[in-house]
Each structure stands twice: as C-alpha cells, then as structure tokens.
C-alpha cells in the first residue's frame, strides 16, 4: 500500500461517524447494509451521512451497489487488511523481538 493512500484511509476512518459506519459494515460482513439501515442505526441527517459515505467510498474503504431503490454498502475487506499490514510493516526492523 502506498503511503499517501494509507494516510488517506486512516484519516477517513478517523472520524467518529465514519468509523461507526465502517464498523457497522465490517460487522455486517459481505451481506452489507443499505444506506437507510446505517442511517437508522446512527441517527444522522441524510445529507451528512451521504457526505461521510462518499468519503469512505472515495478512499476505497467501502463500495456501493444499487439494488432497486436501495443502495447496498459493503466494506472493502482487503483494504482493511492492507491498511493494518502497512501499520505494522517493518515493525522493529532495527531491533528484533518487540513484535510477534
């Protein structure tokens, strides 16, 4: 993962509402959730929610697929793994033994 890309993903996750959205999606798994489900769970105005969702999508952390009137949202699980990997990458290269 590129440095800038990782920073962007982390920044987007670093907002209370967006982190909550993302965690709902992670919890939901591949089935995903409709925007309306998320709205109901988090109780935020539609326009605000839409703004945050579009940022998460833009950062490559989730995707949306239309199913009729509903937009189904799903977390991008590989992005999460890559991000976590980036954070721990080269952990303690200078001195072995602190990370497992």
State the greatest distance between any 2 C-alpha atoms of the chain, in Å, as a whole number.
Answer: 55
Q: How many residues does the chain have?
A: 100
Q: How far is CA 13 from CA 52, 88, 94, 96, in A?
A: 10, 17, 29, 30
Angle at 38 between CA 35 and CA 42, to 5 degrees: 140
Q: Is 69 in the site for a copy of itself (CB under 8 A)?
A: no
Neighbours of 72 (CB within 10 A): 16
Q: Is 31 in the site for a copy of itself (CB under 8 A)?
A: yes
Q: Please choose, out of 6-14, 34-42, 43-51, 65-73, the segment that lies near a copy of itself by the rule CB under 8 A.
A: 6-14
Token look-up 């929610």 returns 49
Q: Is 15 in the site for a copy of itself (CB under 8 A)?
A: yes
Among 47, 66, 68, 88, binds a copy of itself (CB under 8 A): 88
Which positions touch a copy of itself (CB under 8 A)? 3-4, 6-16, 19-20, 23, 26-31, 77, 80, 83-84, 87-95, 98-99
Q: Which residues bind DNA (CB under 7 A)?
A: 11, 15-18, 34-36, 39, 44-55, 64, 66, 68-71
């Amino acid at each position: 993962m590129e440095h800038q890309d990782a920073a962007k993903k982390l920044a987007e996750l670093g907002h209370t509402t967006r982190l909550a959205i993302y965690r709902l999606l992670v919890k939901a798994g591949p089935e995903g959730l409709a925007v309306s489900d998320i709205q109901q769970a988090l109780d935020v105005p539609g326009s605000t929610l839409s703004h945050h969702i579009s940022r998460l999508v833009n950062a490559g952390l989730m995707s949306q697929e239309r199913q009729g009137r509903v937009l189904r949202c799903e977390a991008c699980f590989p992005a999460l793994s890559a991000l976590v990997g980036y954070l721990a990458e080269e952990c303690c290269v200078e001195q072995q033994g602190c990370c497992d």
